[in-house]
Structure 1
Amino acid sequence: MSDAMDSDASRGAKRKADVLDDAAIPRRIKPLDQDVVNKIAAGEIIVAPVHALKELIENAVDAGATSLEVLVKDGGLKLLQITDNGSGIDKEDLPILCERFTTSKLQKFEDLQTIATYGFRGEALASISHIAHLMVTTKTHESNCAWRAYYDGGKLVPAKPGQSPDPKPVAGRQGTQITVEDLFYNVPTRRRAFRSPSDEYNKIIDMVGRYAIHCSNVAFSCKKHGESSTSIAVQASASCHDRIRQIYGGSIASELTEFSTSDDRWAFKAKGLATNANYSTKKTIILLFINHRCVESSNIRKAIEQTYSAFLPKGGHPFVYLSLEIDPRRVDVNVHPTKREVNFLNEDEIIQAICENIRLKLAAVDASRTYVTQTLLPGGTWSGPAPDPQQSGAAASSKSSSSSARRTAGRANENSLVRTDTNLRKITSMLPSAATAASSGGQSSDPPADAEVIEYETVDRDLTACHLISIRELRAAVREDMHQELTEIFANHTFVGVVDERRRLAAIQGGLKLYLVDYGRVCFEYFYQLGLTDFGNFGIIRFSPPLDLRGLLALAAQQEKDTAAGAGIGSEDEDFDVPEIVNLVAEQLIERREMLLEYFSLEISPTGELLSIPLLVKGYNPAIVKLPRFLLRLGPHVNWTEEKPCFESLLKELAAFYVPEQLPATPGNEDNAAIAAAAQKEEVEIDDEIKARRSHVRRVVEHVLFPAFKSRLVATKSLMRDGILEVANLKGLYRVFERC
């Protein structure tokens, strides 16, 4: 017992000095035996039977095969055979076929920069021959017969003891048949590591299926040894859709959408097939081929899953087949022993371009998404026939009542219900500023009957194509500043209502969130972008009779001077001569009237009459009270000396002119309680013109501008910072209520 305790106590203890003194002479460094080196190298390249198969498939496709047959026994550990109809191997090359680093695809190291074939290092067959019994039967087109050779340890060996190791002539068909038997027979620890032959066979099936989908015009078949039926059988004429249907099933194939993108800057082309929002599974399936090699990329997987997260339900995952072709000079294919991973330049930019293209495709077909939902929403009325019980998932007989037929199998969670009908009661009916809405029960209606009647005349005028570099650069600057998430919010939002005309605030719903939007700031961005996209093709608002340009400028200049004096500024800059400023600005505008008319539809006569201003949006006229100040600002606030700053500043002034004006607050809705009390005491009545203008702004904001934002607004990063505020999250509110 004590001996055992002493033995246990000594485990892991440091050796004492006297023990070290008695140690043997320090071991010398010696080179490993070549057989050990080869087995170590083979273990790095051929990790499992599926890796051996991958190398053999790639060699067969490189040889121009149009048909591949795979035969497997015990998951590939007992037998792995692949037969192709490719070009075959010359008899003279058979002696060195399985020697390390023998290849017909690489001559010097620099050739790696332009390598375009699957194999190139000449290690696959050599590695297999060191850890398995290898037999090769091959026939070229010029040969009269096939030749069979056996290999062990990279060298030719006889089929039976006492025979010659030279290749033997045999009957055979065009192509090559490679038979691998007893894989890892001399590496017992590796062989015992495999859990079961069925798991290895499933991996082989998966690999064959991946290459069957990618290699068009190549037939594939795979089956177990001794069985008549095949696990995979794909004809050479089958399309990519048909191959996916045969291998992964019709549920995936019926929901596929095609995508493709390319960019010369990053020297890449990408194409593939991806499932739309109607399909989701518990595990992401990505078939990734870079320069036709089946590889893996965690970065691409994460980016694709993140792209789909906005379209699929929680826990749902997509199926994606992606073929990515990159300039070989920008790809490092020699970073992994099994070539499972590759490195390439501009990875982030390429991944972003691919995911953006997939996102656009998903958004384009998102209208076809199908749901299992409640047939009758709370607060709604049923006005149609009862749905098919099979479609709703409810079990109902032919004699069931209409109420039971409208049931669904699962009840939606209340914290996931969102607005689906804009005619339902809105949140603004509960706010003080929405007095008119409250009086009508909070129901939204069509545009009011007293809406402004605007007459339009259509003229035959060809659209002018803009070739100005300055406008193209301004458009590109908007695209580069785009905030993707906010753009999607505006593209799919539901308008809730105008909250405050004085602060120009409106509420919108995006998904399960409620946002407060500064619609003045958003309108400015929208009208500026509209000016860029419609540059040179604006509509016209014509004045009849024409307006006096100098009179309008004098009105604005005097108002600016009075405002400065009332504010007590009193500086020399504000103490200007009104007639001098009016003449200066009027001469500038009259001098440039041809350019203003051609590009901006702003027509001024030589005598100083304002004939027309640009029309940006049909159904909305800007406040005419802002016209004098708009014209005045065209003088000092527009850079008339340079083209690009001139167009940019002028379009921004035009956008500011078109932004809905800030209207006075209604009594009872002022922030200042003293003002509200004074208004009530003096019984201040709102001017009829202000009432009409408020009604007009409400109608335009809800029925013209916000619907236009859905299709044409590119939300910028600056708009995300100071134009929108999240005020409520439905799920977050439910968490609060659950704690109360």
Structure 2
Amino acid sequence: MDVHMSSSPPRGTKRKADELEPPRRIRALHQDVVNKIAAGEIIVAPVHALKELIENAVDAGSTSLEIVVKDGGLKLLQITDNGSGISKDDLPILCERFTTSKLKAFEDLQAIGTYGFRGEALASISHIAHLAVTTKTADSSCAWKAHYAGGKLTPAKAGQNADPKACAGRQGTQITVEDLFYNVPTRRRAFRSSSEEYAKIADLVGKYAVHCQGVAFSCKKHGDSGAGIAVPATASIRDRIRLTHNNAVANDLIDFQLTNEQYGFKADALVSNANHSAKRTTFLLFINHRSVDSSAIKKAVEQTYAAFLPKGGKPFVYLSLEIDPARVDVNVHPTKREVNFLNEEEIIELVCDDIRQRLGKVDTSRTFMTQSLLSGAKTPTISKLNTVPEGPSASSPALQRSATMQSSTRKPYENSLVRTDAKTRKITAMLPQAQRAASPSRELASDGVEYEYTDKEATICRLTTIKELRASVRECMHNELTDTFANHTFVGIADATRRIAAIQGGVRLFLVDYGLVSAEYFYQLGLTDFGNYGAIRFNPPMSLHDLVGIGVAQAKALEPDNVAIEWDNVVPAVVNQLISRKDMLSEYFALEISADGDLLTIPLLLKGYMPSLAKLPNFLLRLGPHVDWTDEKGCFQSFLRELASFYTPEALPAPLIEGGEDEEIAERRRHLHRAVENVLFPAFKARLVATKGLLKGVIEVANLKGLYRIFERC
């Protein structure tokens, strides 16, 4: 058998320069190719074409839009408005690229107040579809109809004149797009079904129908007698949501307005309360009246709702942000689906804080299903919770489960039941009596400290290094683990010596290294509240020299044979280092040191939780050699890591079973158990962004569905 091999190397094979063909000359692409490439970037699907047409109609001052769709928009897209219309003299250049009435100079991009501004929408459509425009202005005696192809006027039929033709018509504009992507067969074949494309169109029309007050919307399939979407011009935003979504959503909405002059923005929103819970988030976001997508805002809002909704429950959110146009860059995406704006993190945080407060205060009518525990009870009863408490209790597992519990005749499978009952015993209740704190679950979490409140306003952090550190945390986020912590149920402390606790997430049981998780949580808390910490004040002040000296003695006892360290020089070196930077430490970290070297305050990160002061000498000692004082970003990162380590719960020795334990150690153990269960894990649920590094500190030890499969085989 003869084998013939090609002499040319396969694609991707590295070749030497002398083996290459003569270099091809660089040529400019034909203008038609350029236009089709641009059209493919802007008009990706029928819904994108319609979005451009809707925005042009609203820009023209229309109060009524009628939309007709055939075959998901591939066969026909027609939009009729009653706006200002298009002058006959402008029709010849209407579909040429970069022709617009809304932009004159590049500097105008800094103050865009309209939807369209680049003049590419109609030009792009004319290159990949058959486009017809019928328009009439108020001062025109008749309407004019024009056909376009490739950005130019074209005759309606072969042999006719391409000039616009006079016809009857009402004021406004009707744009008809037929056979979309007729000359791009690959793109056209990519669309699977017309019903799927129509669903996207209906979703888009619904968004603008909700937002554009004073504008009537009608959308229907070609040939249907009734409209799929019909919204009158006089409808309020709540009524528009009722018409485009459903009554249940509209009845469970909270409206709020937020204005902030510092960041130059105003927010108007209608968001669902805790009674509403859906399988997927409905998120209608408008920035300067433009429908856009923002995964950062959506994720932050969903995280806010996680504390109020049952596991898997998602909210409905309509959010309109009006931001100073000088702070917004709209020209960052071909389809204008995304925008960039200044102070994004701060604006998101303010909006989410407002949503969180309103969910806690406004929602006073949550419905719960309760079942009598008497053996003869048959019928569940309905009870009303008149008030929803603020704070961690508002997001307790019992409330989260009860908020959406509905009567149902369908019995769930046993291996899918989530058994989390507040009345069930904790793991700690099963340990020997000497190992348990005295009813820790019934004692209120308290650090025994009196709090004094001041009128100091929170400062906004503008340091780029802190923003970069915050961004690095978000980039390392593990979504599934974050969701587990946000919806977990605390089971109990399994091993206080190794700092191991058990939590339940759905039908799974996990063992968690709460020391590792605490260190990450307090580091994130330090970044989030940077420059706005509370302060733990010592009265009387404590000598910094003495505290560092204690830390040196402890370190020396651990490494008695280490001759590389000149222990006598450590104390003055660390003390001088801290005193020389006392102004920075006080401003950023609430760590106040007097000129005489007395420690006045240390930062307070979490109310209700007092760090172990036995770790204070070592914390102060490590601030000398373990903080990078030469680099701003490195300094902040290393200092906050040391502060987080200081705040991490201490590891106490194993308790003595047969008595004889020092009363001080016993009291510290009781305090630790209360803090872990009642303060730390509720805090993890509310604010922790679980990073990928925490995976090594979380182990799944049981899965109810997996156990059922094991027992089924037995």
Give the TM-score category using the shorter length. 0.5 to 0.7
Q: Deviations over 1:486-523 (max 9, x none)?
A: 55554544332222232222223344443333333444
Matches within 5 A, 1:274-293: none
Deviations 1:532-572, CA, capped at 9 Å, x for gaps: 657674122435xx87877776666555545444xxx4x42
Aligned counterparts of 1:641 and 1:487: Cα–Cα separation in 2: 33
Equivalent position of 1:727 in the other structure: 701
Deviations, residues 323-377 of structure 1 (Å, cap 9, x unaligned) = 89997773454xxxxxxx6787989x99999999999898778876999987349
Q: Match for residue 442 of structure 2?
A: 446
Letter in 2 for 1:447: E
Task: After TM superposition, give the deviation of residue 665 of structure 1 in Å.
Answer: 2.0
Give the counterpart of 1:481 among 463, 473, 476: 473
Q: Secondary structure at the match of 1:237?
A: coil
Q: CA deviation at 1:426?
A: 1.3
The answer to whether the 8 Å contact 1:66/1:219 transfers is yes
Q: Which residue of 2 aligns with 1:409?
A: 409
Q: CA 1:317 to 1:635, structure 2 compared with 1: closer, same or farther past 3 Å?
A: closer
> Structure 2 vs 1, CA of residues 58 and 700 (structure 1 numbering), >3 Å: closer, same or farther?
closer
Match of residue 539 from structure 1: 536
Match 1:573 to one of 564, 582, 585: 564
> In the TM superposition, what whole-angstrom CA distance separates every residue of 1:621-655 from its partner, at most 9, and x where no partner exists?
5556555x438726854669669577776666565
Q: Which residue of 2 aligns with 1:509?
A: 504
- 1:693–1:737 Cα change, 3 Å: same
SS of residue matched to 2:62: coil
What do residues 27-59 of structure 1 show as CA deviations (whole Å, max 9, x unaligned)? xxxxxxxxxxxxxxx9x9999999998787566
Aligned counterparts, 1:138-537, within 5 A: 138=136, 140-143=137-140, 145-147=141-143, 175-176=171-172, 178=174, 209=206, 211-221=208-218, 232-255=229-252, 330-331=331-332, 333=334, 375-376=370-371, 387-388=380-381, 408-418=408-418, 420-430=420-430, 436-437=435-436, 445-447=441-443, 454=448, 456=449, 462=454, 473=465, 477=469, 480-482=472-474, 484=477, 485=479, 486=481, 489-525=484-520, 533=530, 537=534
State the AA in 2 paired with 1:500: D
Shift of 1:731: 3.6
**Equivalent-residue separation in structure 1 for 2:124 and 2:570 (angstroms):** 88
Structure 1 residues 136 and 352 mapped into 2: Cα distance closer, same or farther (>3 Å)? same
CA–CA distance in 1 between the matches of 2:410 and 2:340? 46
SS at match of 1:86: coil
Q: Which amino acid is the alignment partner of residue 237 of structure 1?
A: T
1:109 to 1:385, Cα distance in 2 relative to 1, 3 A:
same
Amino acid at match of 1:699: R
**Corresponding residue SS for 1:236:** coil
Contact 1:470 1:643 in 2 (8 A): no
Contact 1:86 1:176 in 2 (8 A): yes
Instruction: Give the Cα separation in 2 of the matches to 1:63 and 1:452.
Output: 62
Give the aligned CA root-mean-square deviation in angstroms. 7.2
Aligned match of 2:654 in 660, 665, 671?
Answer: 665
Q: In 2 relative to 1, CA 492–736 (structure 1 residues): closer, same or farther, beyond 3 Å? A: same
TM-score, normalised relative to structure 2: 0.60
Identify the residue that residue 88 of structure 1 maps to in structure 2: 85
State the secondary structure of the residue aligned to 2:510: strand
The structure-2 alpha-carbon separation of the partners of 1:387 and 1:620, relative to structure 1 and needing over 3 Å to count, comes to same
1:40-59 superposed matches below 5 A: none
Counterpart AA for 2:442: D
Tell me, yes or no, if the aligned pair for 1:528 and 1:651 is still in contact at 8 Å.
Answer: yes
* 1:655-710 Cα shifts (integer Å, max 9, x gaps): 55554433322457xxxxxxxxxxxxxx8844444434333332333334444545
Which secondary structure does the structure 2 equivalent of 1:330 belong to? coil
CA distance in 2 between partners of 1:372 and 1:301 (Å): 29
- Please report how far the alpha carbon of residue 446 of structure 1 lies from its aligned counterpart in structure 2 after TM superposition: 1.8
Q: Which residue of 2 aligns with 1:702?
A: 677
Within a 5 Å distance, the mapping from 1:49-128 to structure 2 comes to 60-69=57-66, 84-90=81-87, 120=119
1:102 touches 1:123 (CA, 8 Å); kept in 2?
Answer: no
Q: Could you tell me which residue of structure 2 aligns to residue 36 of structure 1? A: none
State the partner residue of 2:19: none
| Alpha-carbon spacing, 1:148–1:359, altered in 2? closer, same or farther (3 Å) | same
Measure, in 2, the Cα distance between the counterparts of 1:506 and 1:280. Answer: 30
Q: Is the 8 A contact 2:434 2:656 kept in 1?
A: no
Superposition deviation, residue 291 in structure 1? 9.2
**Cα–Cα, structure 1 residues 147 and 549, in superposed 2: closer, same or farther, change >3 Å?**
closer
Per the alignment, residue 27 of structure 2 pairs with none
Q: For 2:509, what is the secondary structure of its paired residue?
A: strand
Count, aligned residues: 634
Alpha-carbon contact 1:514-1:726 (below 8 Å) kept: yes
In structure 2, C-alpha distance between the alignment counterparts of 1:177 and 1:240, rounded to whole Å = 26
Q: Give the Cα–Cα distance (whole angstroms) in 2 for the partners of residues 97 and 342 of structure 1.
A: 23
SS state at 2:370 partner: coil
Deviations 1:408-435 (A, max 9, x none): 5343444444454444201333456x75
Q: Residue 331 of structure 2 aligns to which amino acid in structure 1? A: R
Whole-Å Cα distance in 2 between the matches of residues 152 and 589 of structure 1?
74
1: CA distance between counterparts of 2:195 and 2:613? 79
- In structure 2, C-alpha distance between the alignment counterparts of 1:689 and 1:219, rounded to whole Å: 73
Cross-structure match for 2:691: 717
Indicate if the aligned counterparts of 1:222 and 1:230 stay in contact, CA closer than 8 A. yes
Q: Which residue of structure 1 lines up, in the alignment, with residue 12 of structure 2?
A: none
**In the alignment, is the contact (CA less than 8 A) between 1:424 and 1:444 conserved in 2?**
no
Structure 1 residues 539 and 427: CA distance shift in structure 2, 3 A = same
- Supply the distance in 2 between the matched residues of 1:581 and 1:49 (Cα, whole angstroms): 71
CA separation of 1:734 and 1:106: change in aligned 2, threshold 3 A: same
Q: Do the aligned partners of residues 250 and 71 (structure 1) sit closer, same or farther apart at CA in structure 2, a change above 3 Å counting?
A: same
Q: Retained in 1: the 8 A contact 2:461–2:530?
A: no
Q: Per the alignment, do residues 314 and 157 of structure 1 end up closer, same or farther by CA in structure 2, a change over 3 Å counting? A: same
Which amino acid in structure 2 is aligned with residue 633 of structure 1?
L
- Distance in 2 between the 1:51 and 1:596 partners? 53
C-alpha distance 408-68 of structure 1, shift in aligned 2 (>3 A): closer
Question: CA–CA distance in 2 between the matches of 1:636 and 1:458?
Answer: 30
Conserved 8 A contact 1:220-1:232: yes
Q: Aligned residue for 1:693?
A: 668
The residue identity in structure 2 corresponding to 1:501 is A
When residues 107 and 736 of structure 1 are mapped into structure 2, their CA distance, relative to the original with a 3 A threshold, is same
Partner Cα distance (1:79, 1:658) in 2: 64
* Helix, strand or coil at the partner of 1:245: helix
Alignment of 1:581-660 (within 5 A): 626=615, 629-630=617-618, 633=621, 637=625, 656-657=645-646, 659-660=648-649
